[in-house]
Chains A and B, each alone.
Chain A
Amino acid sequence: MRFPLQSTSSEKHLCSISLWANRWPFPAATACNPPVSGRAISISKHAVWILLFTFGLGLEATAAESLKLNEDKSKIEFVGSKPDGDKHEGGFKKFSARTSDPGDDLSLTIKIDAESLWSDNPKLTSHLKNPDFFDVRKYPTITFESTRLKQQDDRVLIVGKMKMLDKTEELSVPVTIDDGTERLKIVADFLLDRTKWGMTYGEGKIDRDVKIQATLVFDR
């Protein structure tokens, strides 16, 4: 966190602050004398603290507001299929995501409420929530934490660890990043091998690869 007072080059001013805020990493200035009287020093001390605290809060608020997940425009959905071509759609209604500003070190953390699972068939939804698939009662949360970005040909991959059914596996997600002035949009469309996380029910009758379609929109 940077403070505006730190930008002044006045050694006298710096000395005054360091005497009143011994914990700050300023050079020790034990030799200098306070330039004003004791009462004025007390008022100034409080004023500095208030200024520093308010400015710090303002920076924090600004940082929190800069990349907030737009839940209405974001979605995480999947499509399961069978070898005969039969398909069913589904997704998760509740999830949260955090990200930093894009750049060389984009970080992305997603936390999905597994119990918010939905599908296009009520009985299928019930089945997906059971131990055959997501076992939402025992494993109510699915998480993804990115570790790095990778460039592959003309695609950007977000590489991270995904934890599902109490098993953590590395996952590389090809994404399209749209970094606008008002919002940041991350779109992913890829196939996920569910058996890597121990979801093996119906192998041979249900495709092991599930199509994942995710759109995360962050407002600045």
Chain B
Amino acid sequence: MPLTLACLASAVAARLSRHWAAVGKPGSSQAGIQRRRTAAVVVVAGWWLSVFVAVAPSQAVGWLPQEAWRQAFWPILLFGLIVAMRPVIRSASEPRVWVAAAAAATLLAFVTLPHGDGWEDLLDRHRRWMLAVTVSCLLNAWSFDALARSGGQRWVLWVAAAGLIGPLLIAAGAYGTLAEACLAAVTATVAVGTFASVGSIPMLCTATAPAAAWLASATASARFYCFEDHPFWLYLLVLFLPSLVTATDWPLRKQVPRLRVSVAATLCTLLNLFIGWMLYAEMLTWSR
């Protein structure tokens, strides 16, 4: 289901953005801007819907689900829509967009962290995790956008997919339903990324915005629902993996794409292997 919906959203967005020439080109017609905005909304909504539908059957997700990570679906959509609108808005309004995105990221962080009866022992960690989730959302979204603008439009979603493996690994060892939702997010990102790579459709890069929000939210949720305690730096590594990869790519941005992709892929693989080793080295898994 996530694969189907994500592919559908990608196809519709590709058709809508048929007349888009390049990102950031001034003087575009009003009709072109509207078309790009519509395409961005379709991509973000399609990505979000594919994950939402994958999770919905397991519980009544509804408007006010019980668990905090399910309630975070709505701020994720909001953040994704706000940031996705950025490529089609001229520079004069960009600061306001990022301010709005910061507000959405803060709201996401607040909603994601579980509180109430039964969570008193983890309340002292809320402050740093709220900061971590907010910064991760914004920094990763900005990093993806910077990578796409520097010529990485065809493979930026693969970096996003690699970043989503971290929360999947944490959740897989503690909370099955959350792990399934993370898997749906990875699947949706891979589906859109495939379209972006094969069809060279820049508008599809807007899916990195909800992916960045999901990465931050799911990592925090997996940590709070996990009864094992891992070092905080490990969670920070998961939260900022995409930004690390983008930072590594910055000196190489004028090199051939093949080199850039190879370096990014190698770094993503090594980091995820390291994260997996840290999480599972001494543990047996439930499924053999």
A contact set with B: CB distance below 8 Å = 86, 88, 121-127, 129-132, 136-138, 140, 201-202
Contact = CB atoms under 8 A, between A and B. Distances in A.
A68 B286 CA distance: 37
A123 B174 contact: yes
A53 to B, nearest CB: 41
Max chain B Cβ within 10 angstroms of own Cβ: one of A86, A122, A126, A129: A126
B174 A137 contact: no
A138 B176 CA distance: 17
B118 interface: yes
Given A129-B227, A138-B118, A140-B118, A122 B283 contact: yes
A130 B118 contact: no
Given A123-B173, A127-B174, A129-B227, A137 B118 contact: yes
Contact of B117 (A127, A131, A138): A138
B284 A123 contact: yes
Given A121-B284, A121-B286, A126 B226 contact: yes
Nearest to A201: B176
A176 to B, nearest CB: 33
13 contacts: A121-B285, A122-B228, A123-B286, A127-B173, A127-B176, A129-B227, A130-B174, A130-B175, A130-B176, A131-B66, A132-B177, A137-B117, A202-B176
Interface of B: 58, 66-67, 114, 117-119, 173-177, 225-228, 283-286, 288
B177 to A, nearest CB: 6
A123 B283 contact: yes
B176 to A, nearest CB: 5
Contacts of A121: 283-286
Contacts of B173: 123, 126-127
Contacts of A131: 66-67, 175, 177, 225
A136 B225 CA distance: 11
Contacts of A201: 58, 176-177
B119 A137 contact: yes
Contacts of A124: 286
Contacts of B228: 122-123, 126
A87 B66 CA distance: 30
